[in-house]
Amino acid sequence: MATGTGNTAFVLAPYVRRVVGVDMTREMLEEARRIASEKGILNADWVIGDAQRLPFMDETFDIYVVRAAPHHFSDLDGFLAEAFRVLKPGRDAALIDCAPPLPAREVLHAIELRRDPSHILYLTVDEWVVRIERAGFEVEMAQARELDWNYEEWMANQAVPPELAAKLAMIIESTQGEARVQLHPERREGKLWHAYWHALIRAHKPSS
């Protein structure tokens, strides 16, 4: 789901009969299709669709995977309801998204809002668990993984203008209190590094 240029779909493809990559952005899927053909991946389909209103029948899929995208969705409950609906009973969904703990979340959220107009919200792992269970899933595993984050590389990959990147770096470096302890910003050879977090969640759709 929200496959972008197909990164996760390409990893899954060797293990499944067919993989369906869904995204709402046509250009992303065109690139995914191009890369799939370059890699010789023949069992992938690419479908334009909104994670919050999927163009699939109930109980279609054996596995549902979404990575690095739910923070762009305006209706998280709608997205989870759709994930639950299209998954077959007794099967699993994997959700991976950025999930900083509070209060660091507020700092990174403020940065994302200024860097990326399509950013909506990061949930913490605990907030994810509440939402996912409310959608009908049983959460089998939910953990945050802390990452050592190279700030300059992040901004360069996202083509953030250098003046804006410098202003946003100041927000991280001037953070105080518990958020600072969590983010532990530091300069290594002049380059800013800080903590970042991903949530890794496995959720089960009960059989009945």
Using CB under 6 A as the criterion, which residues of the chain lie in contact with ligand SAM when the complex forms? 2-4, 7-8, 23-25, 28, 50-52, 67-69, 72-73
- 50, two tokens: 């909104």
Nearer Cβ to ligand SAM, position 12 or 168? Answer: 12
Burial of 176 (C-beta count, 10 Å sphere; 0-12/13-18/19+):
exposed
Q: Which is nearer to ligand SAM, 68 or 81 (CB)?
A: 68
Minimal distance in Å, beta carbon 76 to ligand SAM? 10
Structure tokens at 205: 């759709």
| Identity at 2, one-letter amino acid code | A
Least separation in angstroms between residue 203's CB and ligand SAM is 17
What is the spatial distance between Cα 39 and Cα 96, in angstroms, rounded to a whole number? 24
Which residue number places its CB atom closest to ligand SAM?
4
Helix (H, G, I), strand (E, B) or coil at 53: strand
CB of 161 to ligand SAM, least distance (A): 19
The CB-of-121 to ligand SAM minimum distance in angstroms stands at 13
Q: Which two tokens stand for residue 82?
A: 């759709």
CB 94 to ligand SAM: min, Å? 12
Distances (CA, A) of 186 to 108, 115, 182, 190, 206: 16, 21, 12, 9, 45
Residue closer to ligand SAM by CB (options 46, 179) is: 46
The three-state secondary structure class of 208 is coil
Rank residues 7 and 103 by Cβ distance to ligand SAM and give the closer one.
Answer: 7
**Counts of helices then strands in the chain (DSSP H, E):** 8, 7
